[in-house]
Structure 1
Amino acid sequence: MCQACNDLLIEINAYIEKADNKLVKKLKDAGFLIPKKTIKVASELEDEMTEILKSETKFLAKQLNKAVDIKSFFADIWNDVKDIDDVDVKLSQAFIQTFEKVMPAMMEAYITKSDEKLKFVKVTDKTSYQVAENSKEVSEKMKLSSHKNLEKILNKGIEEGESIQDVTKEILNGGIRDERYRARTVALTEMLRVHSYVANEAMMQCAVVEQKEWIHTGSTKNQPRENHVAMNGVTVNKNEPFELIGADGNTYLPMFPRDFCLPASECANCHCLHRAIVSESALGIAPEERRRMQSEYIENADRKWEKELDMINYQKAVDYRNGKGDVNE
């Protein structure tokens, strides 16, 4: 590598590290636990996602070059290309493997913050399932977004009479999207979403926690969502949802910020969190009893979820037989 290129790479890495350190401080000040590990893992996920997205860009460009012109690509090849594009599978695997590694550390931090007499036992099966399913859905949306963006480029190419070579060059030069920026935004949003799921799980496992409070952590510099600002300080029982009026005017019932029931417009770059409210009277329960209650909650939650999952899988099988879906979804 030339010295100038090496110097530039050093500067870029220093800039990224500085940005990451600033974000670590921001998350710590806001109240997120294990912020340093969170950003480290999010950065690793970002790198992996960037490579996956770049590979997809090259794959789409390669498929485009199999056609004699853009119109024939649309007519003869495009539908098959969309079917064989497996970027969603690769992204979901990256998400799930990353989250499975970091969730135990998150759980340990959130549980001991509410009750230092407890320790991490396990993440309940339902929460693990929800995180995995959310990861799959985010990955599918990212794939769909790539395809829509490519179609815009292709349509523009047809209207302007561009050649396959012109469109391919535009795609490879970042026409579909800026892979790094997109990966960074999604990686951080999804990492904070997992924080929310795990924090809520920790509250449910802690007998001393009775309520939860929505905390808005944005600053006026960042043009905060007014509806999220209005949620600041709202308190509900820990097993009940919050009521959020979305920017679209619809009413949503999230259990926590970035709950997957919320649209992307309410989640992207959202740094809100929810805080456990401990009952002083519950702290009088003996530590041994609190640990027993934690184990009992996990056992009951897993047993209940097993039945729920059976019903979900049964409905999937029925839908598949009726031609309404994929039995493996």
Structure 2
Amino acid sequence: MPGLLSSIQRYDMSTGIPKAVWTALYANAARANLVLPHAEKVFGHQKFTPKIVSTEQLWLVYSKPGTSEIQFVLSCTEGPLGKYPLYIIPTVPAQDLTPELLKSSMEALCSALLSESGLTRARVFSVFSIEKVTEAFVREWEEVAKINRIEEPYYSAIFSVCTASTLVRQQRPPRPSGDVVLEPRLAAEQDVDQVALLCCDFAATSPPFILTDEKAREEARLLIANRQLWVLEMQKRNGNPEIATIVAVTRKSEGVATITKVYTPEKWRGNGGAERLVRHVCIELLEKYKQIVLYVGVDNCAKVVYDRVGFQGLSEGSSSSERWLEMGFDENKVELGHW
């Protein structure tokens, strides 16, 4: 294949993604949950409604110079609701991410981005990867693109995995309450209004990626149409049922499913709803998938919920803990997309 021995290989809608890159992504499917499921949807490898029609899909692959050994896959892509951040997936163990490798690889990736026809510097509004990869990319991008970072990270998270062997099936006894808890279920079309409100409220907790009412409704419809959202309803005595918690699973590939949204409005917090619904979703997903992955903010008190369900590596200093970081760039010089 032309360019196989160069450090950077470039792929888009017209070229497709070659077998070697698919193989590298599948071999790292949990880490690659940000890139692999979207690529499958783009190329029709999995069903998604509606079909993704945007042609602004770019993948840059960094290989060890002089070899075909893939070490990083960078995606600069667009989904149905807008442009995604840059995602950079390392395909080497974390301990192999030496300063030398990070500097040479990020220099090459930044140079390739700047050389990309039709891609403006404003497109790079943020980058998300393993902490040290993000930091290395940001240093290089600031230098070559002349756009400064925003000092406060958009997202500092722990990458966590739950499997059939770690899942804790036992439900804690609910707190004494007069509220009635209904059975968890997949969201249905009649839930669009409530789900849209919760999607909007959830996004408001993650600035700058907030949603307009229209975008929130569009997201709710997509989640429901693609059977990607579960809900838990509760009701006060003599009241009507309300959606008390939502759990979205929007990225799936062979063997791996990713929980991408968990939200309980303030009115229903403290009732154990999130734990109950996350556990229910994990039990269902583990019938088909070997791993359930999620990112949880390092300061998010929900870590204790995921820990009780069976997600691993959530304790600071844990040997299995992997820190991921999203850094943004000067919002006066970039065009924000959608997370």
Q: TM-score normalised to the size of structure 2?
A: 0.24
**Which has the bigger relative contact order, CA under 8 A and spacing at least 6?**
2
Max Rg structure: 1
Between structures 1 and 2, the one with greater helix share: 1
Between structures 1 and 2, the one with greater strand share: 2
